[in-house]
Amino acid sequence: MSQDDAKRRAAEAALAYVHEGDTIGVGTGSTVNHFIDLLDQKGPRIEAAVSSSEASTKRLRACGIKVRDLNQAGALDLYVDGADEADPHLRLIKGGGGALTREKIVAEASRRFVCIVDASKCVRVLGDFPLPVEVIPMARSMIARKLVGMGGQPKLREDCTTDNGNVILDVTGLRLTDPVAVEQEINQWPGVVCVGLFARRGADLLIVGSASGVETRQAAS
């Protein structure tokens, strides 16, 4: 089974958490693309979606799914999104697709966050995948120096401007044994818009697709 097939399995399993007439949050990325397509093909028919990116908005509308602004929608019952890494506590690295800030906003506005991944995204400790940090352009060099001071190696993501008009630094070399503390520290630096650690508010459920089937995980105590 291909990695893409495993992603599709996880995305299909997430449909069980969607109810007719819901307004749900929808994330960004290749696994979420499967979810959007399957939602269109198999239902249930939702009232609307709150999207975390322009790319997902375009795909939702192409499927005939109404997209609503979060300010109009209010609190959401469910958010479905993927991840670049997930640890046993369901803390995540996200932002490989560049939508980390809007993803974190929609996740925060949702009562339940269902994360859909293929098995390759599951790790014991976060940090092999470069940690994205969205930064206001004028603060790029200052933030890069601070990240170096933490032991990281930041690199500007080439040809990338976020939907918010900012840049992304991808940081390698950080072993994230305490991702909550790292998330809190980086987020307080002036010039940082968002860090792609979803640790303080991780996933509530992790749906993992693989060749052997689908596994649903809850956070380790």
What are 82-125's pLDDT values in tens digits? 999 999 999 999 999 999 999 999 999 999 999 999 999 999 99
The label of the residue with tokens 């949050």 reads 25
CB 29 within 8 A of CB 35: no
Q: What is the percent of the chain where pLDDT is above 90?
A: 96
CB 1 within 8 A of CB 211: yes
| Per-residue pLDDT, 43 | 80
What are 44-86's pLDDT values in tens digits? 899 999 999 999 999 999 999 999 999 999 999 999 999 999 9
| Residue 179 CB contacts under 8 Å (≥ 6 apart), including other chains | 87, 91, 126, 197, 199
| Spatial separation of the C-alpha atoms in residues 190 and 173, rounded to whole Å | 22
Q: Please tell me which residue in 103, 108, 183, 215 is annotated as part of the active site.
A: 103
134 is known as an active-site residue:
no
Confidence of residue 169 (pLDDT cuts 50, 70, 90): very high
| Spatial separation of the C-alpha atoms in residues 51 and 61, rounded to whole Å | 10
| Spatial separation of the C-alpha atoms in residues 196 and 173, rounded to whole Å | 15
pTM to 2 decimals?
Answer: 0.95
Q: Is the pLDDT of residue 127 over 80?
A: yes
Alpha helices in 43-133 (DSSP H): 54-62, 70-73, 100-108
